[in-house]
């Protein structure tokens, strides 16, 4: 399953790279194609499930950048996000840094509203993470550092001259068991709220 996700994401990344380099990306006029650039800060609330136990989220902050190529009504978007997944454990919390790469197909459904659906690939950062009893390695905590799942995003754009404010809500549904043991299943779900700027694209759909 994970191998198929990696292959899919690789093909989509290559598609985006070749699309950006292609002649239609350089010319957003006749074909209606354009490239948009996003930069934003975010807050994440991650739900951590271990076996039958669901741990409450701890709000954490992060940031990301994104690139979208397409026409005025739809297009492909590739993001790179630095987030932390935090969850309550006893009277303290655990926090795990992740690099997430979501790829979504975006629909600009109204003048200033867009909706995206796709998948994400995630990789835990470093060799250890913070727990209530101190730093622990991923192996000690039975974690596989690789994650993958589905993602959906709802965005609002507010045009201001040559750039645009963006507000986004994103939900990640983990489908890959990130446990490295057969004794229990570990999964993450994310609720991500972000605020930032969008450049390019010639404004919102009319």
Per-residue pLDDT tens over the stretch 88-116:
977 789 999 999 999 999 999 988 999 99
Is pLDDT of 24 > 50?
no
- Write down how long the chain is: 206
Q: 201: which 2 tokens?
A: 């694209």
Record the tokens describing residue 66, joined without a space.
Answer: 């994104």
What pLDDT sits at residue 7?
52
For 51-66, the pLDDT digits (tens) are 889 999 999 999 999 9
Tokens of 177: 């068991």
Residue with tokens 């303290």: 92
Q: Cα-Cα-Cα-Cα dihedral of 188, 189, 193, 197, to 10°?
A: 70
Q: Shortest CA distance to 98 belongs to which of 116, 123, 79, 120?
A: 123
Pairing of strands 128-131, 146-160: unpaired
At residue 26, the pLDDT reads 38
Q: For the residues 156-169, what does the mean pLDDT come to?
A: 91
Contact 102, 79 (CB under 8 A): yes
State the average pLDDT over residues 174-180.
89
């Amino acid at each position: 399953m994970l191998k198929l996700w990696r292959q899919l994401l690789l093909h989509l990344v290559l598609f985006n790279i070749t699309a950006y380099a292609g002649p239609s990306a350089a010319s957003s006029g006749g074909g209606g194609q354009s490239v948009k650039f996003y930069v934003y800060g975010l807050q994440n609330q991650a739900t951590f499930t271990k076996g039958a136990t669901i741990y409450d989220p701890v709000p954490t902050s992060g940031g990301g950048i994104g690139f979208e190529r397409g026409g005025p009504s739809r297009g492909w978007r590739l993001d790179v996000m630095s987030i932390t997944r935090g969850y309550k454990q006893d009277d303290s919390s655990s926090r795990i840094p992740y690099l997430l790469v979501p790829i979504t197909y975006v629909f600009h459904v109204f003048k200033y509203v867009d909706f995206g659906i796709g998948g994400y690939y995630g990789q835990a950062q470093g060799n250890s993470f913070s727990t209530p009893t101190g730093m622990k390695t991923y192996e000690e905590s039975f974690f596989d550092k690789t994650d993958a799942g589905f993602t959906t995003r709802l965005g609002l754009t507010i045009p201001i001259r040559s750039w645009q404010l963006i507000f986004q809500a994103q939900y990640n549904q983990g489908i890959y068991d990130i446990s490295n043991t057969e004794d229990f299943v570990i999964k993450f779900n994310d609720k991500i709220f972000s605020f930032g700027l969008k450049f390019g694209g010639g404004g919102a759909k009319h």
